Structure 1
Amino acid sequence: MPKRSKFQKLFRDHVFVILGWLIWIILQIKGHKFGPADSLAVLAAGSALTFCTMLGCVFAVVRHADQLAELMDEPYGTLVLTLSATAIEVSLMLMVMAGGAQNPSMLRDTIFATLMVVLNGMVGVSLVSGGWINVEQSFNLRGALSFLHLIAPLSLLLLVLPNYTSSTDGPTLAPVQGAFLGMLCLLVYGVFLIIQTGRHRSYFANMSAVLDEDPETNGNTAPRLRPRRSAIVRASFHLLAALLPIILLAEHLGSVIDLAIEESHTPPALGGLVVAALVLLPEGVGAQRAAALNLMQRAVNICLGSALATIGLTVPIILLAASLQRHSLTLGLSGAEETLLYATLLVSVMTFVSGFANVLQGVVHLMLFVAYLFLVFVP
């Protein structure tokens, strides 16, 4: 039965990936792009089909990323999933921006939504799920704090500092300020990756990890090297095949999001929440699974790594694209959102400084997440 279930999931993944490629090829051949020229029925059906297909491809990315995580040592496994989600996020935001400057707060709303979804939603679900099954879980304190040491100051520089600069009017940055902030984020994230994969790699490894030696090889890992490399290459190919349709279809979904923001009376922050939710879904599923399997360090790496990757990679790319397209971006948060950010960073530090995770901590994070969702619709 487990083999049949695994085969069914694999078959379903392939169906969504093939469907994603077919939809993109058909749209390219016809030269069609969803927009105001389409009727409401065509727009609703086309966008729903595109979104569902991208969602299926997202779950395929999760499955193949999990396979890579099992084949590769930490933190490389979770890093693959994080960078895959970042590629989806950047492509979606670039496509929305390409439609014009209708939503100058898209970057701010998406970054803020990402922080709320990750630090409150994903962390909360992971802690509750893992704590409910395993009572209490431990993780590497130094690794968690390494993430937070960058997330806290960079998020404040990006989302709070623009409210108090005097070079421009409103919660915006001058082009030179935006370029400086983007380069700073990119530089610091590059240093972090060197530390994460180099001299302090043990900070991000599972605390219960042990050497996996096959008794049939008497400690000699050479016979296993070739099959492992082959499996890594195969899993990487499948992950890339599932990831590319999401990126390619982002143009069409982005045009729908841009049109909905421009035409509807929904809250502006909802666009950022939609982008963040679609992008973070694979990582959210991966973090919950890891916590349920008592792999809390992997869950911490996924959650905090995705938040840091958004600030360290997405921000510089979007700031550069905005400057090239002469888009003025609204970056500073309002008073209520700023308060939520402060509360989230404070609670996150209090949670991860303990080195242990339980249900109560997860409930507190979920409380902040529910408050964020409520304020999106009732600002």
Structure 2
Amino acid sequence: MQKAMTMARPWAGWLTVALFLIFGSQWVGSHTHPAALLGLFAWLFLMIVWVAFGVVHEAETLAEMLGEPLGTLVLTLSIVLIEVALISAAMLSPGGNATLARDTMYAVLMIVLNGVVGLGLLTGGIRHYEQSYNLKGASAYLSVIIPLTIIALMLPNFTTSTPDGSLAPPQALAFSLLTMALYGIFLWLQTGRHRGYFVATDAQPAELQEVARHREVAIDKKKLLLHFGLLVVHILPIIILSKSLAKLLDYGIATTGAPKALGGVVIAMLVFAPEGISALNAARTDRLTRAINLCLGSVASTLGLTVPAVLAVSLYTGQSVLLGVAPSSMVMLIATLVLSGMTFSSSRTTMLDGAVHLSLFAVFVVLIFSP
């Protein structure tokens, strides 16, 4: 049954792609009944989430073959690729959304660092009292996340080259290169000389032996290529369907009068749902290092890859992109970064850490609808 469901995912995704390529322009029109548009949005949303679980499945299979942290890296990069595709589709649609990239990155930070981390630490603490993890890995993640967050989401509010929270072209180019360089150095260290920072401390000797074994024994290249191919087969329909989903999302927000920031929240929830569930399962089964790798890795990848991507689209199309968040959001970001630094300053966590993060997440939800 499980195998049949796994095989059905890509077929269902590509069938949906074919139907929207043929009939999408008729279905997503100005004269379509709102109830029908809501149904189309629900169909696309659920289909993308279902196929995204296939992405997670293939990435976890590759993780077993490649070992950590390469496996987690493949998963986070795959999810961020989907996120970039959704944001770019919305930016390139008629009337483009100048704040969607900012809202999505902010939502990812709040949902992951407060919602998923909070719930994971709370449930893990209730079940295991205290949980341990590799402190060096979490500190490495935060050392990248903190400056990238400030550069991408706060600094644009204080520059004088532009009157709003956007960046002038020289700033956009310089910040994109800086972001990619910093994230590239982090990836080099994560997959190279400091690879041991990102595996569980109690399992580290075994993990390192496994890495050595993989280097000595040739990996089945055919099987590896097969699963990389299946990973691409799962990702492509999501990317193709992202344009239709972006249109429906913009129309729904405009029609209902919902907060514009809700679009970023929907995309953040959409792309991170499978990875978030994997992180929560890892925390529940006392594999906190993997949970932290998934959570903090997704945030670092979002900032390290989404910012250069949206700025590149902005420079290419000449469309303005507003990155600076509102004052209340800056307060929330600062509080989240400070709290994350305190939570991951010790090698053990308790349910109290999770409860505090969840309280900030609750404030974030309230501010969406009552800014």
- 8 Å contact 1:287–1:303 — kept in the other structure? yes
- 8 Å contact 1:290–1:299 — kept in the other structure? yes
> Is 2:330 the partner of 1:335?
no
Whole-angstrom CA distance in 2 between matches of 1:354 and 1:254 = 41
> Is 2:149 the partner of 1:137?
no
Whole-angstrom CA distance in 1 between matches of 2:4 and 2:61 = 16
Whole-angstrom CA distance in 1 between matches of 2:62 and 2:285 = 17
Q: TM-score, normalised by structure 1?
A: 0.90
- CA apart distance, 1:245: 1.6
Picking from 9, 12, 21, the partner of 1:19 is 12
Q: String of CA shifts for 1:235-270, please: whole Å, max 9, x gaps.
A: 333333222221111111111112223333111110
- After superposition, the Cα gap between the structure-2 partners of 1:212 and 1:146, relative to the gap in structure 1 and judged at 3 Å, is closer
SS in structure 2 opposite 1:287? helix
- 8 Å contact 1:35–1:256 — kept in the other structure? no
Alignment correspondent of 1:261: 253
- CA apart distance, 1:105: 1.0
Q: Gaps (5+ residues) in structure 2?
A: none
Alignment correspondent of 1:287: 279
Alignment correspondent of 2:267: 275
User: Where do 1:283-362 residues align within 5 Å?
Assistant: 283-362=275-354
- CA apart distance, 1:52: 1.3
Whole-angstrom CA distance in 2 between matches of 1:345 and 1:287 = 20
Whole-angstrom CA distance in 2 between matches of 1:220 and 1:47 = 47
> Is 2:173 the partner of 1:191?
no
- 8 Å contact 1:117–1:369 — kept in the other structure? yes
Alignment correspondent of 1:211: 206
- After superposition, the Cα gap between the structure-2 partners of 1:71 and 1:132, relative to the gap in structure 1 and judged at 3 Å, is farther
User: Where do 1:32-51 residues align within 5 Å?
Assistant: 32=25, 34-51=28-45
> Is 2:168 the partner of 1:177?
no
Q: String of CA shifts for 1:298-328, please: whole Å, max 9, x gaps.
A: 1111110100001100110111101211111
Whole-angstrom CA distance in 2 between matches of 1:156 and 1:64 = 34
* Moved >4 Å (runs of 4+): 219-226, 228-231
- CA apart distance, 1:230: 5.1
Q: String of CA shifts for 1:131-186, please: whole Å, max 9, x gaps.
A: 22222111111111111011111111111111111111122221211121111111
Superposed CA RMSD: 2.3
Whole-angstrom CA distance in 2 between matches of 1:25 and 1:136 = 50
Picking from 227, 233, 236, the partner of 1:241 is 233
- After superposition, the Cα gap between the structure-2 partners of 1:66 and 1:39, relative to the gap in structure 1 and judged at 3 Å, is same
Q: String of CA shifts for 1:7-51, please: whole Å, max 9, x gaps.
A: x33322332321110010122234636242433233222222111
Alignment correspondent of 2:151: 157
> Is 2:103 the partner of 1:109?
yes
Aligned residues: 367
SS in structure 2 opposite 1:277? helix
SS in structure 1 opposite 2:206? coil
Kindly provide the amino acid, as one letter, of the partner of residue 7 in structure 2.
Answer: H
Kindly provide the amino acid, as one letter, of the partner of residue 5 in structure 2.
Answer: R
Greater alpha carbon shift after TM alignment, 161-170 vs 304-313: 161-170
Whole-angstrom CA distance in 2 between matches of 1:43 and 1:368 = 34
> Is 2:66 the partner of 1:78?
no
- After superposition, the Cα gap between the structure-2 partners of 1:223 and 1:108, relative to the gap in structure 1 and judged at 3 Å, is closer
Greater alpha carbon shift after TM alignment, 359-368 vs 32-41: 32-41
- 8 Å contact 1:137–1:294 — kept in the other structure? yes
User: Where do 1:118-133 residues align within 5 Å?
Assistant: 118-133=112-127
- CA apart distance, 1:208: 2.7
Whole-angstrom CA distance in 1 between matches of 2:213 and 2:58 = 28
Q: Percent identity?
A: 39
